[in-house]
Amino acid sequence: MKETKYIFVTGGVVSSLGKGITAASLGRLLLARGFKVTNQKLDPYINVDPGTLNPYEHGECYVTTDGYESDLDLGHYERFLDIQTTRYNNLTTGRVYQTVINKERRGDFLGKTVQIIPHITDEIKSNILQLGKENDFDFVITEIGGVVGDIESLPFIEAVRQLKYELGKNCLFIHLTYVPFIAAAKELKTKPTQHSVKTLQQEGIQPDIIVLRTEHEISDDVKRKVSQFCNVSVDAVIESMDCSTIYECPIKMQEEKLDTVVLSKLGMEIPEADMTEWNKYLDRMKNAKRKVKIALVGKYVQLQDAYKSIAESLIHACTYNDCKLELKYVSSEELTNENVEEMLADKEGIIVAPGFGSRGIEGKFVALRYARENNIPCLGICLGMQCMAIEFARNVLGYADANSTEIDPTTRHNIVDIMDEQKNVLNLGGSMRLGAYDCKLKEGTLAHKVYGQDVVKERHRHRFEFNSEYREQFEKAGMVCSGENPDTGLVEVIEYPKNKFFLGTQFHPEYSSTVLKPSPLFVSFIKTIIS
């Protein structure tokens, strides 16, 4: 029986260094050598999951196929490794404590005093090991959020410290740090790295590999210095320079031999790596000439990570259409009938983003009307699809007061309504419909043509739905309900055939787009624009 290898990625000096991209890049390289790999994220915040977090707090809330609201790094893992993650790929402090407290209330600890060690750390270790045992992985790469030395991450650091001794040769630590360049001295400084590693050592962990994030090339002398001060071999000091695209990172890490050092330190054979398809993708991205100007209309545009999966899906789609993405984030709060021409006139396509609440909603209606009346390719996602329906009801069906019960509970024409109790049997999250569900596509429609199949499975994150009482009126006026849930009849896709591409989806197609398997909807959207 094979033994799963566990690799832990920690970070030091500053946050946002790219631990997730580094972990995902290593996963892609090991996958290219024929190993079965998954990535996991440990988040130190006390929220049970990021589902209730404002996107400005933590970026996009990603949704797994089994309906778990997770950290956005899981999106990177899926896009890089071409895998599907589950709730077991993300663990928060809040979930750990909630589980332990529930066990204590049931009497599972038989009257023992419940403590950080062993009860909290045992729960963390159990979750890490479960992922490897249940799925027969060769490697589980676990990223620990935050910065070493943070009080929030101490239980996680302690848990993986214990695992080092329990797993022995099947465990390895990678520490990612920042090497600043002091312009006045024209010098790279390794002291922050030394202090970061010292902090990690004080918490009981000696890193096996150190990855140095930098904007400047790191010399062999600097690598030797880090090696000597931080107790790692010179070949285990890895340079990680800024790249023009995150999808170059696996190639740069391969050039630095990160994966071969990992395999060597774990005493494993080193099979040949097949990065052919990945390199083809990068070649297409670099050689693309034609630019495509897209507007993404949403209310969280000040933080681009709020729409990370949509942006990456557009990049995938543009690459496979041999063009480059020029994406403009447009605040729906600032978009009005008076300035819409100025803000959207030169855009070749419009994405109306998902979201919750009434803030910025009127600007989305403005964008959708502009796209529909000017035949500009437009894709509405989740709330974007719901806004598409409301705008159509207002300006085509003539219901001036058309709205959603979420936005205006007193509205007479509630085109978008809360899911009723009968339909909530599908719901995995209280008032939320979360995770992957089947969608049956109507033959002869754009949606059916795009996917090329009768039934697709896409992921959801919503609590409101298209009100089917208006379905007949919509279809008489030319709006086609081209996708529905086969079990409940819930409308999943609407489209307006009079335009070349005017389509909305209740689900989130961006969650299933990967580097090697781009979302058909996004690919078709871009193809329509350039054809």
Strand 69-70 and strand 62-63: the pairing is antiparallel
Pairing of strands 237-241, 209-214: parallel
Of the residues 230, 323, 382, 481, only one is catalytic, namely 382
Cα–Cα distance measured from residue 104 to residue 135, given in angstroms and rounded to the nearest whole number: 29
Helix (H/G/I), strand (E/B), else coil: 326? strand
Is residue 309 helix, strand or coil?
Answer: helix
Give the separation between CA 84 and CA 460, rounded to whole angstroms.
15
Residue 358 per-residue DSSP state: S
Q: 249: burial class by Cβ within 10 Å (0-12, 13-18, 19+)?
A: buried
Upstream peptide bond of 118 is cis (omega within 30 degrees of 0): yes
The dihedral sign for the CA sequence 366, 317, 88, 64: positive
Nearest to 234 by CA among 251, 214, 256: 256
- Cα separations in angstroms, 465 against 198, 304, 361, 462: 53, 26, 16, 8
Catalytic one among 60, 256, 312, 510?
510
**Secondary structure, 3-state, 445-474:** CHHHHHHCCCEEEEEEEECEEECHHHHHHH
**Rounded to the nearest 5°, which phi and psi values hold at 464?**
-115, 160
Is residue 175 within 8 Å of 209, Cβ to Cβ?
yes
Question: Encoding tokens for residue 263?
Answer: 């395999």
Q: Is 140 helix (H, G, I), strand (E, B) or coil?
A: strand
For the chain, the helix, strand and coil percentages under 3-state DSSP, each to the nearest 5? 40, 25, 35
3-state secondary structure of 330: strand
| C-alpha torsion 23→29→33→38, nearest 10 | 30
Q: Do residues 506 and 493 make contact, with C-beta atoms less than 8 angstroms apart?
A: yes
User: Tokens 């699809």 map to which residue?
Assistant: 385
Cα separation, 131 vs 120, whole angstroms: 18
- Taking the alpha carbons at both ends of the chain, their separation in whole angstroms is 53
The tokens describing 482, both together, are 């081209």
Known catalytic residue at 382: yes
Structure token pair of residue 368:
């959708």
Core vs surface per residue 20-57: b (16+ CB within 10 A) or e:
bbbbbbbbbbbbbbebebbbbbbbbbebbbbbeeebee
Dmax over CA atoms of the chain, in Å, equals 75
Whether 481 is catalytic: no
> Mind telling me the catalytic residues?
382, 508, 510
